[in-house]
Amino acid sequence: MTNKIYLYGISALALAVLAIMFLRYDTSKPLTDFPEEKNQQEFTVKYPEGYKVYSTAPDVITVENEAGQGFQIAVTAFDESGPITPERIQQDLPDAEINEPGLAKLDGEQTLVFYGYDEDIGETFEAWVVHNGKLYQIMSAKSDENMLESVLDTWKWSE
């Protein structure tokens, strides 16, 4: 079965998003203002003070500050084992830009990191990882790479 991989952009005005995930503030207090069925606790992550979490779709999370800096996490069902590769991405997205691909670990899970391009925000820094039957596409503007790397260092899978 062919999987469709969707690439979501962070716009300057940011149509903000959060739904199926359960995130934690730097103070480690859980978000509780979302319906209980949405809190699947698939991972936790800490993000900088002054950033807010939003959701307008059940599979996309945006974390950003008032200046529009931040990152986005898109989650899709994925029935292939990981790790994801540039070649696999280009099967579904032949025009996708995948520049300087490399490998990293996201709480022990092999993760593809690369620079890309999004029409809304320009150059991007991205981390894509397959975990428990889902593809996590994490993206920020390239200028926010250091902030996103710091956030990803706090990522913990909830097993």
For residue 23, being part of any structural domain is answered with: no
* Tens-digit pLDDT profile for residues 79-138: 998 899 999 999 999 999 999 999 999 999 999 999 999 999 999 999 999 999 999 999
For residue 110, being part of any structural domain is answered with: yes
For residue 67, being part of any structural domain is answered with: yes
For residue 120, being part of any structural domain is answered with: yes
Question: How far lies 90's CA from each of 8, 60, 87, 114, 145, in Å?
Answer: 15, 21, 5, 13, 23
15 pLDDT more than 90 = no
Sign of CA dihedral 74, 12, 153, 40: negative
d(CA 147, CA 47): 9
Q: Which domain holds residue 134?
A: 36-157
- Supply the pLDDT for residue 119: 94
- Supply the pLDDT for residue 7: 28
For residue 145, being part of any structural domain is answered with: yes
The token pair at 127 is: 């981390």
Average pLDDT, rounded, for the chain? 78
CATH of the domain at 67: 3.40.1000.10
For residue 47, being part of any structural domain is answered with: yes
- Count up the domains in the chain and report the number: 1
- Supply the pLDDT for residue 55: 87
Q: Which residue has the higher pLDDT, 49 or 5?
A: 49
For residue 11, being part of any structural domain is answered with: no
Coil, helix or strand at residue 148: helix
For residue 122, being part of any structural domain is answered with: yes
